[in-house]
Amino acid sequence: MVRKPAIGIDIGATNTRIGLVSYDGRLVKSTKVFSKAPNDLVRQLKSFIDQKIEGIGIGAPGPLDLKEGRILNTPNLISWRQIPIVKILKEDFQTKVYLERDTNVSLLGEAWKGAAQEKRNVVMLTLGTGVGGAIMVNGHIYHGTHGVGAELGHIKISDKGPTCGCGNVGDLEALLGARGTREQFDISQPELIDKVLTGDKKALKIAEKLGKILGIGIGNLINIFDPELVIIGGGISKIGDVLLDPACVSARKVALVLPLRAQIVTWQLGDDSGIYGGAKLVFEEGQL
């Protein structure tokens, strides 16, 4: 039986990415739109979908109510809170719809067609407006007892520093997220990325500081989960080794077992990882 393609959706704090992916993992087409509100997504999907599909897989920032198909009190998507997005899309498109945390979906995409292929134990951090996390244990995405596990962006790093949108002070998201970057260094993440890529000395020093903070988080995660691979995604991952090299140095200072057995890499699929993962969520019928 020939399987129809699936729609993968990655809802971000600023932009939402939508893609059509074939059963064998080929991205047929994609688009990027503003993450305004659920009604806007419905309208955009109606203009995007032009053929029969297997279903729709959505990645969204947590915490989520997976049973009811709702985004809960995520700090960066206020207009989406408590909206039964799964029910809405099922009724509008008469197809299967699955909802998962965005980083879980990104990791699923990387495991299918990206950096985590053939890996069984993986930790992923995505650095953007916020800091997301995902964990794969023995080949399965980890959810925790109540479905809200792996909120790795809220690991406490310091008693000082910016306040996170969740209310914590000095967690990974507060220190590495977009707002924290601006508060600490008076620079936006896009500007930082551009300046690092052009070799600006001040920007390189900022990236080194961010890398050291990231490494503390990675070192703690290595001590807890002993992964074979740590993936760093999100916009700021574009600066690559400028961020990863100080992160590795910092992680070695925290990790108990040396040399580091976990490989630390940037994501392979980039911004499309959530699209691939959303489609894979459909093909796996929501079973992670």
Residue position matching structure tokens 């600023």: 14
pLDDT single digits (tens) 128-143: 888 999 999 999 999 9
Q: Pick 6-105+271-283's CATH classification: 3.40.50.970, 3.30.420.40, 3.50.50.60, 3.40.50.300.
A: 3.30.420.40
Q: Domain boundaries in the chain?
A: 6-105+271-283, 119-267
Find all residues with CB under 8 Å of 150, minimum gap 6, and list them.
101, 103, 104, 133, 134, 135, 142, 143, 144
Model pTM score:
0.93
Find all residues with CB under 8 Å of 173, minimum gap 6, and list them.
130, 131, 153, 154, 164, 165, 166, 180
pLDDT single digits (tens) 74-133: 767 888 888 899 999 999 999 999 999 999 999 999 999 999 999 999 999 999 888 999
pLDDT single digits (tens) 236-283: 999 999 999 999 999 999 999 888 889 999 999 999 999 999 999 999
pLDDT single digits (tens) 269-282: 999 999 999 999 99
With beta carbons less than 8 A apart as the criterion, state whether 128 and 15 touch. Answer: no
* Topology annotation, domain 119-267: Nucleotidyltransferase; domain 5 (3.30.420)
pLDDT single digits (tens) 184-195: 999 999 999 999
